[in-house]
Amino acid sequence: MGKRILIVVAGLLVFLIFLGCQKDKSTGGTADSSKKNITVVLMALNSDYWGMMEDGAKIAGKEFGYNVNVIAPTDEANAIDQMNMVEDLISKKVSAIVLAPSDSAALVASAKKAKDNGIPFILVDSILDDDAVYDSYIGTPNFTAGKMAGEYLASKLKPGDKVGIIRGMPGRPNHDGRTNGALEAFKSAGINVVAVQSADGDMGKSVTVAENILQSTPDIKAIYCTADTMALGSYQTVEGLKKQGQIMVFGFDGSGPALDSIAAGQITGTLAQMPIELGYLGVKAAIDRIEGRSTLKTIDGDTRIIDADTVNDFKSYISNRRAQAK
């Protein structure tokens, strides 16, 4: 009888151990379900660029078994809405926050509050003025990328040729970097930059800005824009003046509409930022912090020059990667 009881007890112990192992497998053995909710706050969700970043975040959530929610204001300039969203997430005690800040100063206080409440805080795409309030920043090295774009255009021009730059909102660090990097490349190649004007990242405004530049300098050879939306608007102006083939237009982001325009033989190229990977790496860094692992303070995202020779392969990559978020 004693033997029989021992056998039954041993069997129960084995069964309980098995159940424990299965539970560890389902959760990764690192965080319970109540600690697996991450919210990503983007600048907006009204463009292909932000849509790709959303997909990257969701891919990481699926891969590592986390619930990832993506929210954003209705437009990129709405820092107040972003602040309110972060404050709400702090009160809800989410596991981690991933933020693409629309204002480098205005969001500092909200980020500090999250950190003070022990919530891992990750930045993507854009930086904050105080590096003590966030754990990691994942983004494009904008100066280097802007220099790459400038060098590409300079390689298709000759010293003395004239170019114009249409940039995003003044004071935005990412657009500052993209502009200054290109300026350095153009200066080194002897290219004459005749104008640096802002269109605030808006396609409609860029049509007008490009018209003004071309009216004052009709013999311009290229327009470099620090976002694809402005490149597409600038091309509308070039096309309206029937100067296709005479003026190169180059963008920055690697958005779907820009890729379609390149494939159609319209804009010359774009500096692709790989927003899918930025979203993926942002959530991955948040998971690392939740699970007690250290992360680098700055993680540079990949960049690529996309032109007529590479656009079809890049579009296939985007399509296949985004399908993983479904």
Q: What is the pLDDT of residue 174?
A: 87
Q: What is the pLDDT of residue 173?
A: 83
Q: What is the pLDDT of residue 48?
A: 84
CA dihedral 249, 252, 258, 261 (to 10 degrees): 20
Structure-model confidence comparison of residues 21 and 135, the more confident one: 135
* Residue range 83-96, pLDDT digits in tens: 999 999 999 999 99
Average pLDDT of the residues in 58-80 = 94
| pLDDT > 80? residue 2 | no
* Residue range 139-152, pLDDT digits in tens: 999 999 999 999 99
Distance CA 138, CA 298 (A): 6
| pLDDT > 70? residue 111 | yes
* Residue range 50-60, pLDDT digits in tens: 999 999 999 99
Label residues 255-269 b or e (16+ Cβ within 10 Å = b). bbbbbebbeeebbbb
269-272, strands of its sheet edge to edge: 192-198, 162-167, 222-225, 248-253, 269-272, 304-307
Average pLDDT of the residues in 177-201 = 97
* Residue range 196-214, pLDDT digits in tens: 999 998 999 999 999 999 9
Q: What percentage of the chain reaches a pLDDT higher than 70?
A: 89
pTM: 0.80
Structure-model confidence comparison of residues 46 and 36, the more confident one: 36
Q: Is the dihedral of CA 204, 207, 208, 213 positive or negative?
A: positive
- Domains of the chain and any CATH numbers: 34-140+275-302 (3.40.50.2300), 142-272 (3.40.50.2300)
* Residue range 218-249, pLDDT digits in tens: 999 999 999 999 999 999 999 999 999 999 99
Q: What is the pLDDT of residue 25?
A: 39
